[in-house]
Chain A
Amino acid sequence: MNGSASRCRRAWWLLAAVLAALPLAAPGFHLRLATEIAIMALFAMGFNLLLGYGGMLSFGHAGYYAVGAYTVAILTRKAGLPFASAFLAAPAATALVAWVTGFFCVRLRGYYFSILTLAFGQLIWGVIFKWTALTNGDDGIVGIEAPALLASPAGAYYFTLLLTGACVALLWMIVQSPFGRTLLAIRENTERTQFIGVNVNRLRLCAFVLSATFAGVAGALFAPFDGSVFPSFAFWTRSGDVVMMAILGGMHSFLGPALGAAIMLFLDHTITAYTEYWPFVLGTVLLCLVLFSPAGVTGLARTVAARRRAADRPA
């Protein structure tokens, strides 16, 4: 047991070292891809706090992602605020929106929860799309600039990596805390958890706001990285993408969604070089996953590992 724990720690250090040294080895295109993966990994892992740990499938998380992105865009481009304050305002604005909408969502269960989150996500999309005075509507807001230090590819990468790393550490603390454990209990049996005196809806709301806030941070990171924001950020298919990342990687593992994000973005950027029918490939992969390996890639890996262990064991 001790051996595997230290091996696990060594693997973590190795991963951290590889990620930190990446700009030396992979400049340009791949560094941008890595930055984007880090942002989407944060989005997917934050989303999975709700899905994997809370058992709540939100189909409106792109709305919160967009709130984070648009807060940075509007405050820097329209209000002329410095980047730092705009960036700090993004999670706060997202948390506020998530709190108001989540208040209603967490009262519902199952399908109804998903559909109401979908409705609110689309409501946010509609507001962004139509409130042209504030958001430029369909044209989006372009020319969002990060401070010079963060504008270079390596600077943007390290900034994203640092923030994503901090958020992931925070997420780890959350899921290990009594709050995280209670969330699991709610997922497994809502009624029983209620019977032992837990205020289920309040806890669900906490998880909802936390999860959405991580999405908002991811959006706030993406806005200066890409330099522009568009209403499509909030459209429901974008929410579907993050659901896919979580499922693809494995919603019942902590890092699974990050792996899912990496796989999806990597495939997206490589397959689109060969065919314009990337969604078809993606859909087929998802279809096979649902039919043959519902636990995602990490679940598949676990099954294979367990089988191999069983095979190694002398009969």
Chain B
Amino acid sequence: MDLSIALNQCLSGLTRAGILFMLASGLTLIFGVARVINFAHGSLYMLAVYLSYTFLRLFGPGGVGFWLSLGAVAASLALIGGALETGLIRRVYGRDPLQQLLLTFALVYIIGDVVKFVWGITPKSVSRPPFLEGGIPVPGGSFPVYNVFVIALAAAVGAGLWLMLARSRLGWLIRAVAADIEITDALGVNVPRLLTLVFMLGGLLVGVGGAAAAPLTAGALGMDVEIVILCFIVVIIGGAGSLLGAAVAALLVGLLESFGILLLPQFAVVFIYALMAGVMIVRPWGLFGVPGRS
């Protein structure tokens, strides 16, 4: 294989991994803390992509518009995540996991149709912000600056999230709830408010990820059910609830996808599902997960 092609595939794999990480980190956090498998996470991503289309039209396509839109999308998704938790998901905590799955599955249908109703069936694409146009010369061609930006953004988000969880009071509380919700509750922590905050954080992450992904992918109906499976794969391979796991698994999936296309274009999709099935057979709790949970 040509070295320049390998480098190019590596960078696009990293870009993909960056997006996947931003989505999966929210999903894994929600699962680790609230023990809810959120099928609607992909729908939130779709909402984020479509919302960035709308906000970019509102704020204009310039650099300022890009940042404003990114912030607006992230804030909207955080609010939507919090609203879903307080309005619906909160009612099924502690119930049969089946009920929770069904609830979020119902949301997939509903949000999908809301998007169709609001934005119509024609795909919506947005352009890259002007200050991130162009390419960086790499051996044998050039690599889009925007992709580098996405990789850096994902790394920054990951680092920020880790710092927050490891160092801040909120992070301690979140980890305490993840470890033992009853004891934390008994210690006088406002657990319901914390769970809402976790869903808001998940929404925030998916909002940033979706806004960052928007210039790379057109908003199209059906993207929700495709991406959510990939997010599940990342969460499961990495180990549900593990942030480090999500990062490593996102890298694995992103790179496997881009190199799989290069080596065996026919079966690139199949590789990823096979990897997931393989990991689940050997280590059902994932690479960085804790056995015996859930």
Contact = CB atoms under 8 A, between A and B. Distances in A.
Nearest to B113: A280
A227 B108 CA distance: 30
A286 interface: yes
B225 interface: yes
A122 B271 CA distance: 11
B244 interface: no
B37 A111 contact: yes
B214 interface: no
Interface stretch (A20-28, A255-263, A287-295): A287-295
B117 A277 contact: yes
Given A110-B294, A123-B270, A244-B102, A290 B233 contact: no
A108 B101 contact: no
A123 B107 CA distance: 25
A120 interface: yes
A280 B92 contact: no
B98 A115 contact: no
Interface stretch (B3-11, B63-71, B127-135, B274-282): B274-282
A237 to B, nearest CB: 5
B276 A57 contact: no
Contacts of B240: 111
Given A111-B37, A115-B232, A280-B110, A122 B273 contact: yes
B97 A111 contact: yes
Contacts of A279: 109-110, 112-113
Contacts of A244: 102, 105
Given A110-B294, A119-B273, A283-B110, A243 B105 contact: yes
Nearest to B236: A115
Contact of A104 (B116, B266, B269, B277): B277
A234 to B, nearest CB: 11
Nearest to B110: A283
A111 B27 CA distance: 15
Contacts, number: 109
Nearest to A113: B284
B164 interface: no
B170 interface: no
Given A108-B280, A118-B232, A123 B102 contact: no
Given A115-B232, A277-B117, A279-B112, A290 B277 contact: no
Interface in A203-243: 235-237, 240, 243
A122 B92 CA distance: 28
B95 interface: yes
A194 interface: no
A115 B101 CA distance: 11
14 contacts: A104-B277, A110-B97, A116-B277, A119-B233, A119-B236, A119-B280, A123-B270, A126-B269, A129-B269, A130-B269, A243-B105, A244-B105, A284-B106, A286-B102
Interface of A: 57, 104, 108, 110-112, 114-116, 118-120, 122-123, 126-127, 129-131, 235-237, 240, 243-244, 247, 276-277, 279-280, 282-284, 286-287, 290-291, 294
Interface of B: 37, 88, 91-92, 95-99, 101-103, 105-110, 112-114, 116-117, 225, 229, 232-233, 236, 240, 266-267, 269-270, 273-274, 276-277, 280-281, 284-285, 294
